[in-house]
Chain A
Amino acid sequence: TIGMVVIGVSGTVASGTSTNGAIHKLPGRVGDSPIAGAGSYADSTAGGAAATGDGDIMMRFLPSYQAVEYMRMGTDPTVACQKVISRIQKYAPKFFGAIICANTTGSYGAACNKIPGFTQFHFMVSSPLLSRPTEQVVDCI
């Protein structure tokens, strides 16, 4: 799955996702990716977020919407992402998932749930402060 957030020079936010879903799923099963607020969310008055992982679990928590709401309240994007992961952890400590967050000033962050075999999350960032699209890594919590 890819989830993407783009914030323009004027602070306009757009987001999106695309996926072929979980392998061997039941026909008809849909995950979090196409659900607004779950797979991704964008609000030009606050920021944007996109989630990835076990959509059957994550979509129950609307993590992208929640992260944007945290950022609207002034929470730093990294902390917003972490708070979202923590909320899911309380109910599903072994869930597989990660989220990226960015606010309208261009600050960004990411967080993921640490489980065996998934201790770091890789994501891409492009901005004028980076010479080219750059891979970044965050340690899972």
Chain B
Amino acid sequence: MAAGRGGGWQGVAVALLLLAALTPAGAASAAALPVVINTWAFRTAAETAWRVLESGGSELDAVEKGCSQCEIDQCDGSVGYGGSPDESGETTLDAMIMDGNTMEVGAVADLRRVKNAIGVARKVIEYTKHTLLVGESASLFAVRMGFPYEDLTTQKSLSLYSEWLNQNCQPNYWKNVVPDSSKSCGPYKRREEVTYREEHTSSQRSVHNHD
């Protein structure tokens, strides 16, 4: 009841709120949109995403095409085919895309032999009720969605793999195994005595080796 009889000050407050919404600050915010922001200095990805928005594409389209451009460009060697070979020498891809209106997510992980990972992730949103597909099954899904099987290996990735083998598989991500993973290649077996020590070092990660 008292709230209903709020008197003049609530009315003034409402008027001030409405006024605030019309201030230059509000206008400035509107002028700041749309915005595209991406990690690292991947210019062609940014340009592609911006162009998609300018041509009337959706925000999801912009994200998909922008990141797809990076996959094509093999940005930094850390995106797309021919980079970051795993211990067996194979390049595998991870990607996700998220719609902030519906909170839907499409993602693929450990995707093999398909180049356009974020394109496949988009198809997870569009054609399934799932969120994340992984491994060979994700690749099979991709083929069903019309993506071609392609070899993700390049001379560059082969070279990176060969160098790593020649350096006794250093660095690697094993611990508590025999033979000593800091000196030798595998195959490794678990060491009986496990050391619960997390080394929060970043020696293996760099601007060219990152998620």
Contact = CB atoms under 8 A, between A and B. Distances in A.
Interface of A: 1-9, 11-36, 39-45, 48, 50-58, 91-96, 98, 100, 102, 105-108, 110, 115, 117-118, 122-129, 132-133, 135
Interface of B: 29-43, 45-47, 49-50, 53, 58-60, 62-64, 66-68, 70-71, 75, 78-81, 83-88, 90-101, 103, 105, 107-110, 117-118, 121, 131-132, 134-135, 160, 164, 169, 171-174, 200-202, 204-207, 209-211
Nearest to A89: B200
Given A18-B80, A105-B32, A2 B42 contact: yes
Nearest to B95: A18
A4 B95 CA distance: 11
Contacts of A4: 36-39, 45, 49, 63, 66-67
A31 B93 CA distance: 10
A100 B64 contact: no
A53 B47 CA distance: 23
Give the 10 A-B CB pairs with smallest separation, nearest first. Answer: A106-B32, A55-B211, A13-B100, A42-B100, A31-B211, A14-B59, A96-B202, A133-B46, A92-B200, A124-B46
Contact of B35 (A28, A123, A125): A125
Among A6, A35, A133: residue with most chain B CB under 10 A: A6
B41 A135 contact: yes
B71 to A, nearest CB: 6
A15 B121 contact: no
Contact of A35 (B39, B64, B107): B107
A26 B47 CA distance: 34
Contact of B93 (A19, A117, A118): A19
25 contacts: A2-B45, A6-B34, A6-B53, A6-B60, A8-B34, A12-B58, A16-B118, A18-B67, A19-B93, A24-B84, A24-B169, A24-B171, A26-B86, A34-B96, A35-B132, A36-B98, A39-B96, A48-B98, A50-B39, A100-B39, A106-B31, A110-B37, A123-B39, A125-B36, A127-B33
